[in-house]
């Protein structure tokens, strides 16, 4: 028997001779598995880097970040102890160091882009230069990003960059980038997620350097006489002009917006109902310029250049036509990426296309998982914050799943060309396209449910028609129309493109409106999402039978997500909006005049697909203009909810009476100290510390927005969140099962401890 104290120094030899008790078989099996997968090990480098970035984003505060970094450093030392002569030791070292580098990169990036921001609403005169212009015709507004004038002697020192929405009628048809502007606007701090699981704009604004957002109160004064700003401003101006030209040339509601989105990535002219139909039908990826569009442009230019040059016998015999065509395709891909706004999916696709072209030029197989890994590595090193966005996740998940599927030996054999009839060949291609669509839908569903709480179920079928229609008909027709517009003959091509886009919209509306077309899920926990992502990557990146083990974490995450309870109450961070989840596929809102964004956001967070009801329609609710009382049956008992619904004060004696019989009181304003509900008082001071709330009455837990933000630099919450995930009811404190004060327990006038609470 080997002495335990000597084991680390002789571990490599022990592994070779099989004399290390309890360890040799397992470690030898791992070593054998890694050896059989040696060609795939490099694919885990960007995964480890992303894991480190994700750790920093998920962990709540600085102590946790430092602890995780220390643990990763210890993991790397453990790899050294195992031995660098063995593949498992090297793998542990590389993975740990890559994750450590990921944490360092995202932390450094967050500090590097730090910029001042306002901390309260204000009305101010904004002066400066227009950096970007985003036209939103469907919403009848123009969104301007303004680099403000920094005047320390001025009445208000604004952040260096603000974003202002201006009514479409207040600005000229085309606002040039770099123009001077002066406008009076109501400004707000960048908004955090309204409820747990909703979109966190404060995080996105932090990395974009935006310190305030708002709306213009009157017509802005714009001076374009000395417009400037360099290449990027000029490019943004050309992009906006091209979008406007395409929207004016294509007929049909939303058709012009879709045509512009395919060319420039500008989706502002697409009506909201059509954008919803595209999402519900699984066709929303067609609107975001990514791999499909870049591949079509690069491939089309490469093929056209090759065929044109081959018309010359001299060039065909003596010139490297493939290399020249690849160069033309590369230039087209780079130009298209710049023109479409250089979004993360487009950059990733452009990098991938360039690597493919390099592989073609060298005569090597180019479309592999290594190509996808290289693109992910480049994006994560330059823009680590992109990992948190759905765009990055959806883009790479789709490409990774598709390439892994097509690389499988059985699929490769099935897709191989063979001598067969035309009908059999078409059937084989159709089956391959359908299977590819199903694989992509399975890969994208967890991401869509995590970020948007909904996922289309019929996307594989819709994409069979929509992808060829977009790639081989709509985009070539747009290119021809723009080309012939140079000589004034583009109208016939625009008409044909309009008809093709109308067909695409019909497919989206038909499929998206079909019964059962959309799966809804309430807010998913990070743990369930991480398990599904880890399982999916395990299945996709390995080639030997060990890939099947990825089904276990994927299934565990799916079960966790499916059986997670839906919230009973949702309260937005400003306290104005309360959603009561009825448990029968409906949601009731405190304020029936809530805007479309709030209604959709609360319904999605509750996992409900349907138009919300006014709370007045419930039999268990009694409402006046100022107060609303509702009773919910949860966990074998009745819960009494009281909420204010107007800014007007209520007689203090009446307020005290209704507070005394309520379990939970919710208000957008500060409630008096004499208001003492049995369980929780949720008012302005509390929400300023916690943000929006998700309340599970049966489990007695309250999850807060602050718990997800923690101490990250974009946090807008005034107090440090504590360490638990949710606030849990404690029986010794204002038991919700007691309906009077006779038990002697103190009133629960504040949430008691746990993360994100007081």
Tens digits of residue pLDDT in 183-205: 999 999 999 999 998 999 999 99
CA distances from 110 to 105, 118, 712 (A): 9, 18, 9
pLDDT at position 381 is 93
Q: List 187's β-bridge partners, or say none.
A: 122, 214
pLDDT at position 154 is 60
Mapping DSSP to helix (H, G, I), strand (E, B) and coil, where does residue 375 land?
A: helix
Q: Which residue has better confidence, 691 or 32?
A: 691
State which H helix or E strand residue 614 sits in. Answer: strand 613-614
Query: pLDDT tens for residues 377-396?
Result: 988 998 999 999 888 888 88
Judge whether residue 733 has pLDDT over 80: no
Q: List 726's β-bridge partners, or say none.
A: 703
Tokens of 576: 């104005």
pTM of the model: 0.84
Q: Which of 134-143, 430-439, 514-523, 651-660 has the highest mean pLDDT?
A: 651-660
Query: pLDDT tens for residues 328-384?
Result: 888 988 888 887 777 766 777 787 778 778 777 776 655 678 888 888 898 899 899
Mean pLDDT computed over 205-230: 85
Query: pLDDT tens for residues 51-100?
Result: 999 999 999 999 999 999 999 999 999 999 988 888 888 999 999 999 99
Rounded Cα gap, residues 462 and 504, in angstroms: 9
Rounded Cα gap, residues 504 and 259, in angstroms: 11
With a pLDDT cut of 90, the percent of the chain lying above it is: 32
User: Cβ distance 694 to 756 under 8 Å?
Assistant: no
Judge whether residue 311 has pLDDT over 50: yes
pLDDT at position 609 is 81
Query: pLDDT tens for residues 82-93?
Result: 888 888 889 999
Any idea which residue has 């019964």 for tokens? 515
State which H helix or E strand residue 141 sits in. Answer: strand 141-148
Judge whether residue 253 has pLDDT over 80: no
CA distances from 178 to 56, 223, 243, 630 (A): 36, 9, 18, 54
Rounded Cα gap, residues 420 and 423, in angstroms: 8
Pairing verdict, β 637-644 and 726-728: unpaired
pLDDT at position 726 is 44
Judge whether residue 544 has pLDDT over 70: yes
Any idea which residue has 């799943």 for tokens? 401
Q: How far is CA 31 from the centre of its chain?
A: 37
- How sure is the predictor about 286, in pLDDT bands with cuts at 50, 70 and 90? confident
- How sure is the predictor about 751, in pLDDT bands with cuts at 50, 70 and 90? very low
Burial class of residue 527, CB neighbours in 10 A (0-12, 13-18, 19+): middle
Judge whether residue 756 has pLDDT over 80: no
Region of poorest pLDDT, from 147-151, 361-365, 598-602? 361-365
Rounded Cα gap, residues 258 and 195, in angstroms: 31
pLDDT at position 8 is 42
Judge whether residue 458 has pLDDT over 60: yes
Query: pLDDT tens for residues 404-455?
Result: 998 888 888 887 777 777 787 788 888 887 888 888 888 888 998 999 888 8
CA distances from 83 to 13, 32, 541 (A): 10, 16, 25
pLDDT at position 14 is 43
Judge whether residue 667 has pLDDT over 90: yes
Mean pLDDT computed over 592-613: 85
- How sure is the predictor about 739, in pLDDT bands with cuts at 50, 70 and 90? very low
Q: Which residue has better confidence, 246 or 733?
A: 246
pLDDT at position 91 is 92
Q: Which of 18-27, 110-119, 306-315 has the highest mean pLDDT?
A: 110-119
pLDDT at position 410 is 85
Tokens of 203: 């995080």
pLDDT at position 202 is 93
Q: Which residue has better confidence, 676 or 5?
A: 676
User: Cβ distance 366 to 352 under 8 Å?
Assistant: no
Average pLDDT, the chain: 83
Mean pLDDT computed over 32-56: 92
Per 3-state DSSP, what percentage of the chain is helix, strand, and coil (rounded to 5)? 55, 15, 35
Residues 6+ apart with CB under 8 A from 425: none
- How sure is the predictor about 488, in pLDDT bands with cuts at 50, 70 and 90? confident
């Amino acid at each position: 028997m080997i002495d335990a104290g000597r084991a680390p120094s002789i571990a490599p030899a022990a592994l070779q001779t099989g004399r290390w008790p309890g360890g040799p078989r397992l470690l030898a099996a791992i070593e054998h598995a890694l050896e059989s997968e040696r060609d795939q090990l490099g694919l885990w480098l960007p995964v480890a880097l992303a894991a480190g970035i994700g750790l920093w984003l998920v962990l709540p505060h600085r102590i946790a970040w430092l602890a995780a970094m220390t643990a990763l450093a210890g993991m790397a030392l453990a790899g050294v102890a195992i031995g660098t002569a063995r593949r498992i030791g090297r793998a542990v070292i590389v993975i740990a160091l890559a994750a450590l580098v990921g944490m360092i990169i995202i932390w450094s990036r967050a500090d590097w882009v730090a910029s001042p921001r306002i901390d309260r609403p204000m009305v101010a005169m904004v002066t400066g230069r227009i950096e970007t212009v985003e036209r939103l015709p469907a919403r009848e507004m123009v969104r301007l990003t303004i680099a403000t004038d920094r005047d320390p002697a001025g009445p208000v020192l604004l952040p260096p960059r603000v974003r202002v929405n201006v009514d479409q009628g207040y600005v000229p048809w085309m606002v040039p980038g770099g123009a001077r502007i002066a406008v009076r606007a109501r400004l707000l701090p960048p908004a955090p997620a309204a409820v747990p699981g909703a979109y966190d704009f404060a995080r996105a604004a932090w990395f974009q350097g935006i310190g305030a957002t708002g709306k213009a109160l009157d017509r802005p004064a714009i001076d374009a006489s000395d417009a400037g700003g360099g290449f990027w401003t000029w490019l943004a101006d050309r992009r906006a002009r091209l979008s406007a030209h395409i929207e004016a040339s294509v007929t049909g509601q939303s058709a012009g917006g879709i045509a512009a989105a395919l060319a420039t990535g500008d989706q502002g002219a697409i009506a909201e109902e059509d954008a919803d139909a595209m999402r519900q039908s699984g066709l929303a990826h067609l609107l975001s310029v990514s791999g499909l569009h870049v591949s079509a442009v690069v491939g089309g230019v490469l093929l056209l250049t090759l065929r044109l040059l081959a018309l010359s016998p001299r060039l065909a015999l003596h010139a490297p036509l493939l290399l020249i065509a690849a160069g033309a395709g590369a230039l087209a891909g780079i130009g298209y990426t710049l023109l479409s706004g250089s979004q993360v999916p487009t950059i990733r696709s452009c990098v991938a296309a360039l690597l493919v072209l390099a592989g073609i030029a060298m005569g090597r197989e180019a479309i592999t998982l290594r190509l996808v890994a290289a693109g992910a590595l480049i994006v994560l090193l330059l823009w680590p914050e992109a990992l948190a966005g759905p765009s990055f996740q959806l883009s790479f998940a789709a490409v990774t799943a598709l390439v892994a599927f097509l690389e499988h030996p059985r699929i490769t054999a099935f897709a191989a060309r063979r001598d067969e009839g035309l009908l059999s060949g078409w059937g084989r291609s159709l089956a391959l396209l359908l299977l590819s669509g199903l694989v992509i839908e399975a890969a994208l569903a967890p991401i869509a449910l995590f970020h948007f709480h909904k996922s289309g179920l019929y996307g594989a079928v819709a994409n069979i028609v929509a992808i060829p229609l977009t790639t081989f008909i709509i985009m070539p027709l747009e290119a021809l129309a723009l080309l012939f517009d140079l000589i004034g003959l583009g109208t016939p091509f625009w008409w044909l493109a309009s008809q093709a886009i109308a067909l695409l919209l019909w497919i989206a509306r038909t499929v998206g409106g079909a019964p059962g077309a959309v799966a809804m899920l309430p807010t998913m926990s990070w743990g369930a999402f991480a398990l599904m992502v880890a399982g999916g990557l395990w299945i996709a990146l390995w080639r030997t039978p060990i890939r099947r083990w990825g089904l276990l974490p994927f299934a565990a995450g799916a079960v966790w997500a499916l059986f997670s309870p839906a919230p009973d109450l949702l309260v937005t961070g400003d306290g104005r909006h309360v959603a009561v989840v009825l448990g029968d596929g409906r949601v009731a809102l405190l304020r029936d005049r809530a805007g479309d964004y709030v209604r959709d956001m609360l319904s999605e967070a509750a996992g409900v697909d349907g138009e919300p009801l006014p709370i007045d329609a419930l039999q268990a609710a009694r409402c006046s203009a100022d107060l609303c009382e509702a009773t919910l049956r949860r966990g074998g008992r009745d819960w009494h909810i009281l909420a204010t619904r107007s800014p007007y004060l209520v007689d203090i004696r009446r307020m005290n009476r209704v507070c005394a019989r309520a379990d939970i009181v919710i208000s957008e304003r500060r409630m008096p100290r004499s208001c003492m509900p049995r369980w929780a008082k949720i008012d302005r001071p509390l929400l300023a510390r916690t943000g929006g709330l998700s309340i599970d009455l049966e489990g007695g837990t309250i999850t807060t927005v602050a718990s997800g933000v923690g101490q990250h630099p974009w946090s807008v919450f005034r107090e440090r969140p504590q360490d638990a995930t949710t606030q849990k009811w404690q029986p010794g404190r204002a038991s919700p099962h007691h309906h009077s004060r006779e038990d002697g327990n103190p009133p629960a006038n504040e949430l008691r401890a746990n993360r994100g609470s007081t």
